[in-house]
Structure 1
């Protein structure tokens, strides 16, 4: 089978293994077996569930790590998709499915590229080549890859995230800030008896969002964005409603919005 045919098939097979964040075990096992069949010198699954495949050269040299995450976000409504999100269908030169771009396509390419490099060089090269298939990137970016780097100790890291085929030589980084406003619960028919924590949050948010994110000469403009707002308890103990409400995540401290 030619390399491009292998690549298409491998990407399709990965798509057929659903791997939401925290539920990557089946896909990880498939990746481990695939790396072993591709004659990687060493393949292991670490404590977090990430897969690391290694190819060692005949001489000492730098360690190069290629990384791609296994996990994907979910599929809210499969009926809205033109193609089955877990079928990996090839149509007009494109593979459709959850994770095809982010980032099972790139991960498939890196897995095969490393194996092809070993084959072409016969293992006669300086250093080592590693491919990591990391978990939980969508929810806890950087946590699982940190454990991988402690194991591999790479000199160079290549991340296969989609970039419109442009080489990106850095990342702006990421920080999450949790803001909390506190209130006092009361019945919605007597709002004056309480303090609405959400109203206080709505007063605070415009001030935060008005802050200018920093600019970097290479990495460009920074991004400042609201990603979630949660009220707790939800619903309030006496909110004047008598209907079933799906539970939402809530902070441990009652009477607050964050």
Structure 2
């Protein structure tokens, strides 16, 4: 937990974790085990990814004390609603083979369903019961958060959003900060777009680092939690090797010029 941030509920989250989106269940166990043995202490999964069972197996294989690993999972859009969310959580917990998760998120607001408030109330219940130590949201715009803050009791600990040099999410990050919500970046490398980018390669060359390492470092210096994904052992290790250099003002300015408001995924208002 040396490189960690404190959430608004007092719990601590490792700032750099492993994302497992699109990693098949049968590969997830080995990938998670390798990451944990290499020093990762934060794993981010979701019901949608259909690999919670493999993640749980990888956690078991690594055999680390439970309180040394931060585990996140999420409720998918088709399980919104108070009772349905509680059932979905039970299923996720059973697949993971855990007694609790460190962070449980609403994966998307799915505003057309208009059920994210009651879904979040289920998360509040899970936190009160100690089965989800922290709770939060993912892909919430400020206007979704406005309603949530007005109609529920607990400020989300985290808002996990698509965030990378081509989509810096300045407004949402500022909103999160103003309300004590930690920003977490998914698709932090823009689904591979960072690899081979001339600007990022040039910055990396000056620091003896790869373009991916430069972007991960950029996230860390912004104060984001960041969860790059890989199944390649060498890349998993490379993504963790980002704590021995720092970007300078010229680096940050060059990266800022990449921002074009371009998403790799859907806008949260459009996904139901």
Shorter-chain TM range is under 0.3
Higher helix share: 2
TM-score (ref. length: structure 2) = 0.25
- Which has the higher Rg, Structure 1 or Structure 2? 1
